[in-house]
């Protein structure tokens, strides 16, 4: 019987990236999936990126992964979120054409040497704590040195629409119940989570004239470091909002909503709440925004972002009838909630390898995450480590200081999840360093070393140009008077400053230094922009590192039982409520609370060490 190096179960975003990574590393790779034509399917909104998520896509690209290139090919509207804030928290986002996305994903598979097997995996083959392959629905067995499990929402998937419920992996696709049962029997720590999606509407039935148009950016920012221009026609989105009448309809039917009637037990994504959740949790708000996003250039389907629901179909229709522009909207596919199995990610190590079953790796929604980006990033790491395991190579891990990928995996394997996990910039300690503009500097060397990035020529040329620019900046030495002559704001201590320090000051631009050093007169604009950002963040970045070192030193500091969390300035209400409920005994215990941020920990530390407390 043929033995594969790597078998990947699931052709979703995690599975695709896992198989590609393993294949790039030279592993003989097979991808077993229920429906090969569904590879590249976007289960929910056909949009990629956003805050934190856009960082993940850049990092995937920097490690040679495919999601960024696929999304760039399919992008029909690009927007850089937080454009007015600093580069560290900006997030690229693209509305994608669902069909173009699938086609681009299928092309990537066709261009690889991955073997696709259309089948259902019903069991894992194991011997003495080692996974040895998989069993298929037709009874066949396939041997493999490593297996990546990335079954998304399909394990034990149950769809809910109002009081109606049935087994499914996502709308129109069968659930994987046999594998779910086997994992439970094999003592995997399995829990239930839920997510939801809004109804899809016919564009022809929407009155766009009544709505606010939202165009994309004039100067789009792409995901892949290799993309220079949009590849598809660009189109606008539209904005509408719920009205008090909408909320009346929703409240009247709440008892029939699967998520509210007790029909679903697993927790859902707090950051992507259903409209039922919004109306009950934020009862004082009279309106909630809805983005009407096209599903494709040739598609009549519109995705109303913001009204995910599991109300019965007639209640969904009644709700839409109250929303401006959607009064006559025709539902093409009802909104629904789905409940599914996940495996406690604390059973994994930082390679995403199962601690008790050698050779098994898990990636994507099965680890309790939500989102294409989170899934793809885990897929890449799991696939690379599955290949490394099979080929006897060094593992690939990313630490928290090197990437959002590292932050996510560390969060998952050390803290686990209590609700579907999604990436946010606030989860990262080293935000000022983990920027979208330097994802390649942070991770491509690792990708090259592990064989995930094949060609480093473009990257090396960029690094060389950056180093030349940095050296030229360090050579510059200007007095306050000389600097003022070039347009820089003056300073009072009279000391000379180098180019990095000058750029860090208010209004400092590289072109102002063009005559200060010959090496700075011909810096390409994209390298110049990177140098300016580096200089601007340098001092803050160093401060951040010092803060983190302090936190690490003082993790043992205890937190008093009677601490009044509601009185601590700078803590969000949500975190204060969580802390008050959990009452962690120390900074270390507080750190493990989901949603805890480094900034919040520093506030706690300041509170227990601060003058107010000492005086009391």
Which positions touch ligand FAD (CB under 6 A)? 9-15, 32-35, 38, 43-44, 120-121, 150-154, 169-170, 176, 179, 195-197, 272, 338, 364-365, 370-372, 375
Length in residues, the chain: 616
Task: Work out how close the CB of 372 gets to ligand FAD at its nearest, in angstroms, rounded to a whole number.
Answer: 5
Shortest gap between Cβ of 191 and ligand FAD (angstroms)?
A: 16
- 499, 474 Cβ separation under 8 angstroms: yes
Please state the closest distance from residue 100 (CB atom) to ligand FAD, in A.
Answer: 17
CA distance 527 to 464: 10
Q: How far is the CB of 568 from ligand FAD (least distance, A)?
A: 31
Q: Based on CB atoms, which residue is closest to ligand FAD, 105 or 535?
A: 105
CB of 490 to ligand FAD, least distance (A): 49
List 126's β-bridge partners, or say none: 131
Three-state secondary structure call for residue 256: helix
Helices 53-62 and 67-74 sit at what angle, rounded to 10 degrees? Answer: 120
CA distance 371 to 45: 10
The residue among 263 and 364 lying less far from ligand FAD, judged by its C-beta, is 364
DSSP string, 569-593: TT--HHHHHHHHHH--SBHHHHHTS
The least distance separating ligand FAD from the CB of residue 535, rounded to whole angstroms, comes to 35
**DSSP 8-state assignment for residue 114:** P
Considering the complex, state which of residue 43 and residue 227 has its C-beta at the smaller distance from ligand FAD: 43
Task: Report phi then psi at 211, rounded to 5.
Answer: -115, 160
Among residues 33 and 316, whose Cβ is nearest to ligand FAD? 33
Q: Mark out the alpha helices in 416-572 (DSSP H runs).
A: 439-449, 457-475, 480-485, 499-504, 525-553
Q: Report the C-alpha gap between 109 and 4 in whole angstroms.
A: 18
Strand 336-343 and strand 158-161: the pairing is antiparallel
The burial class, CB within 10 Å (0-12 / 13-18 / 19+), for 455 is exposed
* Nearest residue (CB) to ligand FAD, 197 versus 444: 197
Nearer to ligand FAD, 278 or 591 (CB): 278
Name the residue nearer to ligand FAD (CB basis): 10 or 87.
Answer: 10
- Tokens representing residue 576 in the block: 């204060």
Instruction: Give min distance, CB of 31 to ligand FAD, in A.
Output: 9
Compute the Cα dihedral for 424, 429, 432, 438 and give only its sign: negative
Q: Which is nearer to ligand FAD, 377 or 551 (CB)?
A: 377
In angstroms, what is the minimal distance from the CB of 430 to ligand FAD?
24
- For ligand FAD, the closer CB: 119 or 246: 119
| Closer residue to ligand FAD in complex, CB, 154/223 | 154
Judged by CB, which is closer to ligand FAD: 371, or 508? 371
Nearer to ligand FAD, 74 or 535 (CB): 74
Q: What does the block give as tokens for 318?
A: 């009644």
Say how far apart CA 353 and CA 122 lie, in whole Å: 20
> Which has the closest alpha carbon to 16: 53, 55, 71, 54?
71
In Å, how far from its chain's centre is CA 594?
A: 16
**C-beta of 335: minimal distance to ligand FAD in Å?**
9
Which DSSP string corresponds to 118-142? ES-EEEEEEETTEEEEEEETTS-EE
Nearer to ligand FAD, 138 or 228 (CB): 138
CB of 118 to ligand FAD, least distance (A): 9
What is the DSSP track for 442-456? HHHHHHHHTTS----
**What is the three-class DSSP state of 318?**
helix
Residue appearing with tokens 């490394």? 388
Q: How far apart are CA 440 and CA 435, in angstroms?
A: 10
Q: Smallest gap, in angstroms, from Cβ of residue 498 to ligand FAD?
A: 44
In 3-state terms, what secondary structure has residue 371? coil
CB of residue 530 vs ligand FAD: minimum separation in angstroms?
Answer: 29
CB of 354 to ligand FAD, least distance (A): 16
The values of phi and psi at residue 438, to 5°, are -120, 20
Q: What number of H helices and E strands is found in the chain?
A: 19, 20
């Amino acid at each position: 019987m043929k033995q594969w190096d790597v078998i990947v179960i699931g052709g979703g975003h995690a599975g695709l990236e896992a198989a590609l990574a393993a294949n790039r590393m030279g592993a003989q790779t097979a991808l077993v999936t229920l429906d090969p034509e569904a590879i590249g399917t976007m289960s929910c909104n056909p949009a990629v990126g956003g805050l934190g998520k856009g960082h993940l896509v850049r990092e995937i690209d920097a490690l040679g992964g495919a999601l960024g290139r696929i999304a760039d090919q399919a992008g029909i509207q690009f927007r850089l979120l937080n454009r007015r804030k600093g580069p560290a928290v900006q997030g690229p986002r693209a509305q994608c054409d669902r069909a173009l996305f699938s086609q681009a994903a299928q092309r990537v598979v066709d261009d690889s040497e991955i073997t696709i097997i259309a089948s259902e995996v019903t069991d894992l083959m194991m011997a003495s704590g080692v996974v040895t392959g998989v069993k298929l629905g037709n009874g066949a067995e396939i041997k493999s040195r490593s297996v990546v499990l990335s079954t998304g929402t399909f394990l034990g998937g149950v769809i809910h629409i109002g009081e109606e419920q049935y087994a499914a992996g996502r709308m129109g696709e069968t659930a994987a119940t046999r594998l779910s049962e086997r994992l439970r029997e094999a003592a995997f720590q399995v829990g239930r989570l839920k997510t939801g999606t809004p109804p899809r509407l016919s564009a022809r039935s929407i009155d766009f004239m009544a709505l606010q148009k939202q165009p994309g950016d004039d100067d789009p920012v792409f995901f892949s470091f290799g993309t220079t221009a949009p590849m598809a026609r660009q189109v606008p989105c539209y904005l509408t909002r719920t009205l008090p009448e909408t909320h009346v309809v929703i409240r009247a039917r709440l008892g029939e909503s699967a998520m509210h009637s007790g029909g679903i037990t697993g927790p859902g994504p707090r950051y992507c709440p259903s409209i039922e959740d919004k109306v009950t949790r934020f009862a004082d708000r009279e309106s909630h925004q809805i983005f009407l996003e096209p599903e494709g250039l040739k598609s009549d389907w519109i995705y109303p972002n913001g009204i995910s629901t599991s109300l019965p179909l007639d209640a969904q229709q009644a709700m839409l009838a109250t929303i401006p522009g959607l009064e006559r909207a025709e539902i093409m596919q009802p909104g629904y909630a789905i409940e599914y199995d996940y495996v406690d990610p604390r059973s994994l190590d930082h390679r995403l390898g199962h601690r008790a079953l050698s050779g098994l790796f898990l990636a994507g929604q099965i680890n309790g995450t939500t989102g294409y980006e989170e899934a793809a990033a885990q897929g890449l790491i799991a696939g690379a480590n599955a290949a490394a395991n099979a080929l006897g190579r060094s593992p690939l891990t990313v630490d928290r200081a090197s990437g959002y990928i590292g932050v996510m995996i560390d969060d998952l394997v050390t803290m686990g999840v209590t609700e579907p996990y999604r990436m946010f910039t606030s989860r990262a300690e080293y935000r000022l360093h983990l920027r979208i503009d330097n994802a390649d500097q942070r991770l491509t060397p690792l990708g090259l070393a592990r064989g995930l990035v094949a060609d480093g020529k473009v990257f090396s040329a960029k690094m060389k140009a950056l180093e030349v620019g940095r050296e030229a900046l360090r050579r510059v030495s200007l007095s306050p008077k000389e600097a003022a002559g070039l347009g820089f704001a003056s300073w009072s201590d009279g000391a000379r400053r180098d180019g990095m320090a000058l750029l860090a000051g208010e209004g400092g631009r590289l072109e102002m230094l063009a005559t200060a050093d010959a090496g700075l007169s011909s810096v390409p604009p994209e390298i110049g922009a990177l140098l300016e950002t580096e200089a601007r963040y340098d001092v803050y970045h160093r401060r951040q590192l010092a803060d983190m070192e302090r936190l690490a030193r003082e993790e043992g500091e205890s937190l008093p039982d009677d601490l009044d969390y509601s009185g601590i300035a700078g803590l969000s209400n949500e975190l204060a409520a969580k802390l008050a409920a959990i009452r962690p005994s120390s900074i270390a215990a507080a750190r493990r609370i989901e949603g805890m941020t480094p900034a919040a920990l520093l506030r706690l530390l300041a509170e227990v060490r601060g003058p107010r407390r000492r005086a009391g």
